[in-house]
Amino acid sequence: MIKIGVLSEDQNSNIAVLIPHNIKQLKNQAEFYIQKNTGLTSGYTDSLYEEAGAKILSSRDELINQSDIVLSFNPPLSEEVPYGNKTFIGAYDVLNSYHANILPFQKNGVNVFSLNLLPRTTIAQSMDILSSMSSMLGYKAVIIASTLSPVTLPMITGAGGTLKPANVLVLGAGVAGLQAIATAKRLGAIVKAFDVRKVAKIDVESLGAQFIDIEGAVDQQNAGGYAVEQEVDYLQKIEQVLFEEAVKADIIITTAKIPGKKAPLLITKKIIDNMKNGAVIIDLAADTGGNSVFTKKDETITTKNGVVIVGDTNLLAKIAKPTSFLIANNFTSFLTYYLKNNSKENDEILTATNVIRNGKLINQKIIQEIEQL
Kindly list the catalytic residues. Answer: 120, 125, 128, 131, 226
Task: State the angle between helix axes of 129-148 and 175-186 in degrees (0 to 180), rounded to the nearest 10.
Answer: 40
Q: Of the candidates 87, 41, 107, which has an alpha carbon nearest to the alpha carbon of residue 334?
A: 87
| Burial status of residue 278 (CB atoms within 10 A of its CB: 0-12, 13-18, 19 or more) | middle
Residue type, 227: A
**What are 69's strand-pairing partners?**
4, 87
Residue type, 178: L
Rounded Cα gap, residues 84 and 281, in angstroms = 46
User: 265-275 burial by CB neighbour count: b if 16+ within 10 A, else e?
Assistant: bbbeeebbeeb
Angle at 66 between CA 60 and CA 71, to 5 degrees: 60
Alpha-carbon distance of 32 to 54, in angstroms, equals: 5
The answer to whether 44 touches 36, Cβ cutoff 8 Å, is no
In this structure, are residues 166 and 189 in contact, taking their beta carbons and an 8 Å threshold? yes
DSSP for 77-144, please give it. Answer: --S-----S-EEEE---TTT-HHHHTHHHHHHT-EEEEGGG--S-STTGGG-HHHHHHHHHHHHHHHH
| Separation between Cα atoms, residue 91 and residue 130, nearest integer Å | 9
